[in-house]
Amino acid sequence: MHVKLLSAVSLALLLSGCAGITTRSGPIEVWPDMKRQHKFRAQSANSNFADGRTQQLPPEGTVAVGLLKEDGAFYTGQVGGMYVGRNPLTYDKATFELGQKKFNTYCSPCHDRTASGHGVVWKKLPTFAPANLHEDRIRAYPDGEIFDVITNGRRTMKGLKTQITEKDRWAIISYVRVMQRQDGVMADVPPAQQADVR
Ligand code: HEC
């Protein structure tokens, strides 16, 4: 009986913890808590640094973990000031499907799902003329140039770099290339579906 009572009491003590219960006077501190100590607050003056601030700017060239963008071709679409010719992604089903999804989300409102340039925005406002991406001029663009258009925009088209990641931009380009290909032959269609082609 005693043992049971004792363990119930110690369990209650354990569960209540030291700081778990809200009390008016605060929990008992056997040793002073670390939150009360000598320290500099973010905005407080600090004579240790020449500029007298506590919060220091990171040294020039500092890159946060995971944000190093070393691969220039991948992140800018250019090498030595020239547009890269070929998309750095491997062309496979996953890339095309990602590109299709992102194109239909971000580009089709203006350029239409077929890339004709006649999306819903154009229907409402034909004078804002999104380009027809099947034009020979655009078909002849190196992949890096289309990357630049998506990233920074061009003339009346606004850049979309804050909305679309670099990888997704390249995937979109691979899908645009698929749509631009107009010399498809029956051999491109899987045999099982050839009969459905009209
Ligand atoms: C808000 C509407 C809008 C969206 C969204 C949009 N575009 Fe455009 N895009 C335009 C317009 C308008 C032009 C014509 C720009 C001009 O020539 O003044 C254009 C032009 C282009 C051109 C040709 C640029 C050139 O050099 O003439 C490409 C390539 C292009 N867009 C690709 C894309 C892709 C890929 C996406 C999706 C990631 C996209 N656009 C999203 C409106 C849009």
Asked, for residue 15, whether it belongs to a domain, the answer is no
Whether 106 maps to a domain, the answer reads yes
Closest C-alpha residue for ligand 1 atom 25: 154
What pLDDT digit, counting tens, does each position of 176-196 carry? 999 998 778 888 888 998 998
Kindly report the CATH number assigned to the domain that includes residue 96: 1.10.760.10
d(CA 102, CA 42) in angstroms, rounded, equals: 41
Residue 17's identity, in one-letter code, is G
Domain assignment present for residue 145? The answer is: yes
Ligand 1 within 6 A of CB of 149:
yes
CA nearest to 173, candidates 154, 155, 157, 151:
151
Residue 116 is assigned to a structural domain of this protein: yes
The answer as to whether 84 is a domain residue is: no
Nearest atom (ligand 1) to Cα of 102: 38
The pLDDT score that the predictor gives to residue 18 is 54
Is pLDDT of 10 > 60?
Answer: yes
pLDDT in tens, 110-123: 999 999 999 999 99
- Give domain status of residue 7, yes or no: no
Classify residue 195: in a domain, yes or no.
no
Q: Which two tokens stand for residue 27?
A: 């929990």
Q: For atom 17 of ligand 1, which residue has the closest CA?
A: 155
Look up the domain containing 100 and give its range: 72-78+90-183
User: What is the count of structural domains for the chain?
Assistant: 1
Residue 153 falls inside a structural domain: yes
